[in-house]
Structures are given as C-alpha cells and as structure tokens.
Homo-oligomer: A and B are copies of this chain.
Amino acid sequence: MTDTYEKPDVMVDVVPLMLRGERLCTVLAMRAKEPFMGRPALLGGYVHLPEDSSLGATARRVLLEKAGIQGLYVEQLSTFSGPDRDPRGWSVSVAYFSIVPEEAIDDVLMRPDLQIVPVEEAVGLPFDHDLIISAAVARVRGKGAYSDIPARFLPAEFSLGELHRTYEAVLAERIDESAFRRKLMERDFVERIEGLTKTVEGAKRPSQVYRLRPGLSVFDRRF
C-alpha cells in the first residue's frame, strides 16, 4: 500500500505573532530559494526524519533556524494540502502559530532577512500563506478571547493594566476594565506576586505585579 503510491512532501509553516505599537503583527522571511525566491513568505521547512520528534518539534526548529528565536509558545493551527498549493507538486503543510513575547522582538529586528508586518497588511503572499495567516488571526482573536494566549505576548511578570491593554490590542476591540479585572480574579487565571510592584512607564502609582498561574491554559468564556 505504502509503496504503490508516491508520498507527498510534508512541511511545516509557522506564523509568528507579536504586538508592535498596539497592532498584531507577523514575521515574514525573504525566500532564499525557488520557488518564489526573494519574495516574503511565512517561515517554513520540511520535516527532518528521523531527528524531528514530531511536527511540533519541526515548527520549533524552523523558528530557531529561520528567525533565531526559541522557547516560544507554539500551537498547531490546521493542515493544508493539495496538488496546487506548491508549484513543486502535491504537498502537505501543517501550519502552526507562535507567540513572540515582547522581550524577544529585538532578536527579530536584528535580522535583515526578516520583516515585521501588521497582519492586515500581510497579503499577496506566495503559496496559500494568506489563508494560513487568516487562520492564525482567527484562532487568536476567537479562542484568544477566552484563553490565556494574549498573556503570552507579555513577559512572565506583568501588571493587570498591561494585561488589559494586551487583550485589547490582540482582539482589536475595547474591553471594559472593571469586567476584565472581575473575570480575571474569579477564575484563578493569574496570581499576584505578593509584595512585588512596579511603576509602568508613564504612570505615577505603581501597580501590583502578576504572573500566569502555571498549569491551565484556557479558562472560561469571553470578557
């Protein structure tokens, strides 16, 4: 069975997401090879057998090799397939998105082969990368509304004000502050770091510092 049919190419494409100036952005790389050499596209690569232990491992390797970043939150999105999505022939691309936290953005900025683009402006890309980016944004704005995903754009320690602004930026909509705090406190979603405060830039009064409670990844419903 296996040997009477040719195997498709299997690759991984990663949509790195970050926040720049309250806008949700992705990272594109100039393609160094054909097809579409010289054009910006998502970070992608073939699965390496046998050393990749899973396609998630492939995604993390691609992030490290093509963008020099590691330790990111990575989540599988969906799988795209067909004879026409890649001019090289029938292919399978397993798409992932990953969250680039604030403190890792500088590493990306240093690389001349990478560009940071607001997700709304990342269109006209080769392959079916427009579609993959739409899927990533839909996931983060849909599921993100009631998960801890937006918190991953921040460093491990943050104030509730920063977290509030981050949710607003990711979802691109206003969220009532008191409802936000209420929800966050009801579910044990974040935990306060006793005795630790910091003054956010621009503010006068220092704010309590919180961190994501380890363990759970999704809490409840929408704010």
Contacts and interface: CB of A to CB of B under 8 A. Distances in A.
A92 B90 contact: no
B46 A8 contact: no
A139 to B, nearest CB: 12
A7 B5 contact: no
Nearest to A48: B5
Contact of A7 (B8, B76, B83, B94): B8
20 contacts: A1-B33, A2-B9, A5-B46, A5-B48, A7-B8, A7-B10, A7-B49, A8-B10, A8-B47, A8-B49, A10-B10, A10-B92, A47-B92, A50-B83, A50-B90, A53-B83, A54-B81, A55-B92, A76-B78, A81-B94
Q: State the copy count for this chain.
A: 2
Nearest to A82: B54
Contact of A53 (B10, B82, B222): B82
A6 interface: yes
Nearest to A9: B2
Interface string A129-143: 000000000000000
A134 to B, nearest CB: 15
Contacts of A9: 2, 7
A79 interface: yes
Given A8-B10, A10-B7, A10-B10, A46 B2 contact: yes
Contacts of A8: 7, 10, 47, 49
Contacts of A94: 79, 81, 92
Nearest to A47: B8
Interface string A1-25: 1100111111000000000000000
A50 B8 CA distance: 9
A100 to B, nearest CB: 23
Contacts of A222: 221
